[in-house]
Structure 1
Amino acid sequence: MNYLVAVLSDRIQAEAAYSELETEKFPMDTVAILGRGYKSADEYGLIDPQEEANRLSKLMSSWLIPFGFAAGFTFSLITGLNTFAWAGEIGNHIIGGLLGAIAGGMGSFFVGGSVGLSAASGDALPYRNRLNAGKYLIVVKGEEPLIRRATTILRQFNPENIQGYTDPTGR
């Protein structure tokens, strides 16, 4: 499935572009307006970068925390450090493992969250920012010939940005 996203500066332009697409006999179930008074980014299904960052952070913690525990336990075992005399030999190794698990949790939170926030969101964040600034998006989804026709029509309205995407999942 291909997508075309055009950013228009105001509601009048967005409605005019939508009407023009309707006049040109586009299947209207393939055209959507996003903005105030129309669909929101969440209703349309634009990825929320914060949700993606949380998902990636949880995924990373599922393997970093146990790995951190094992690494901390092993480090304590190999070095023979007696950092907490009151805990005894086995207690010191367990505390080392717990500290390693905490470090793994922090790594998943900071690295997984920041990577998810910056890289995984793709162009969703700039589009969300434009919607928050009062702009409108016209989104057309369909096969390549339909997208080419829509591009020609939408260019007449001098959009701030017009970009095509191909969904690799085919949805």
Structure 2
Amino acid sequence: MTTPVGASVVVVLADRKRLHQLHSQLAERQPPMVQLLAIGEGETAFADVARLNPAAARQRRQRSMARWLIPFGFFAGLTFTYMTDLDTFAFAGEWSQHLVGALLGMGSGWMGSFAAAASVSSEEDDRIRSLRNRLEEGSWLLLVETPFGVEMPWALLQQAKPRAVVRLDD
């Protein structure tokens, strides 16, 4: 069972020593953090962090949209073939031509889920792009996710003198 996430932030730090100090301080806190991940050279690679991967987010959106667009397309295709009473797929027989129309509608819903997921650009994608730029400039990142209902330890984060603290969700 996964723990629901309360707040997610990425702390941008100037050096690796501060990164490890903050990581150990946060790891000792009770209740424990849902996720505490150091990102940078010699640590976890930026591309390996699913939470900071826009392609993974787009894939989740596509799957979510496909869950309702595919059945909708099936019924829309079926309804269209019955309403228009066209014999476009007459080779399949009277009953099967409606099924062929429904399957084509289902395929259209599947293709539409890709187009819709790719067309959405979230504000979080812009934040992630800025974090990637910070990492390329030589900074270190610490992904901190608290359990639901637990306040982010802002005072502790500020004591580490971060270059920036970026909220991933509002």
**Cα distance in structure 1, aligned partners of 2:155 and 2:123:** 27
SS, match of residue 154 in structure 1: coil
Q: Gaps spanning 5+ residues in structure 1: where?
A: none
Bigger Rg, which one: 1
Shift of 1:62: 2.6
Deviations 1:118-165, CA, capped at 9 Å, x for gaps: 33855344324543554322456777684224325415xxx2x33356
Of the candidates 102, 119, 130, which is equivalent to residue 122 of structure 2? Answer: 119
Please give the TM-score of this superposition, normalised by the length of structure 2. Answer: 0.65
1:50 alignment partner in structure 2: 55
Shift of 1:50: 1.6
1:15 alignment partner in structure 2: 16
Change (3 A) 1:65 1:32: closer
1:27 alignment partner in structure 2: 25
Q: Percent identity?
A: 32
Coordinate RMSD, CA, aligned: 3.7
| Maintained 8 Å contact 1:71/1:97 | yes
Change (3 A) 1:165 1:149: farther
| Maintained 8 Å contact 2:70/2:110 | yes
Change (3 A) 1:54 1:27: same
Q: Gaps spanning 5+ residues in structure 2: where?
A: 1-5, 29-35
1:131 alignment partner in structure 2: 135
1:93 alignment partner in structure 2: 98
**Cα distance in structure 2, aligned partners of 1:108 and 1:92:** 25
Please give the TM-score of this superposition, normalised by the length of structure 1. Answer: 0.64
Change (3 A) 1:82 1:37: same
